[in-house]
Structure 1
Amino acid sequence: MKMTIEIDCSPQEARSFLGLPDVSALNDKLVEEMQKRMTANMAMVSPDELMKNWAAFGAGAQEQFRNLMSAAVDAGMGANRNK
């Protein structure tokens, strides 16, 4: 025997029927916070700001990155020696 039951209800009605909590207020708060952060970060996407940020990473940043990688390799070699 095969039986099909169709229930017509909204998501809110289904959640309350199953005893699930109402998280719509939390969802609204999270969406609002994400919108604030996106609006604040839009200024960083402007071409002027991007060029300022990229120019700040000139040769000095490359040298620091190379030093960081050298330090990581040296630390890894030291860990292998201790085994």
Structure 2
Amino acid sequence: MNFKIDVEMTPEELRRALGLPDVSALQQDMIDKVREQMEAGAEGYDPLTLLKPYLNNGLGSMEAFQKLMFGMMNQYGKGGRDAD
């Protein structure tokens, strides 16, 4: 027996329902400080330097996700043949 429940709520409502803190003010403060450092020309605060770790990890994460999905498809395919 399967049950499916659809719940429509905004991200803010979900955050409140899970009891997570509202960190939007902290996030905005951090963004403002980074923006100030970028405008002042501080070393290490140029856009390329700031985004480089995310770009590298993003590609690795995508590759890991693809491997995970491929492994799951292989397992599903093996299970499907055994059931026939």
**TM-score, normalised to structure 1's length?**
0.47
Instruction: Give the number of the structure with larger relative contact order, counting CA–CA contacts within 8 Å between residues 6 or more apart.
Output: 2
Structure number with larger C-alpha Rg: 1
**TM-score, normalised to structure 2's length?**
0.46
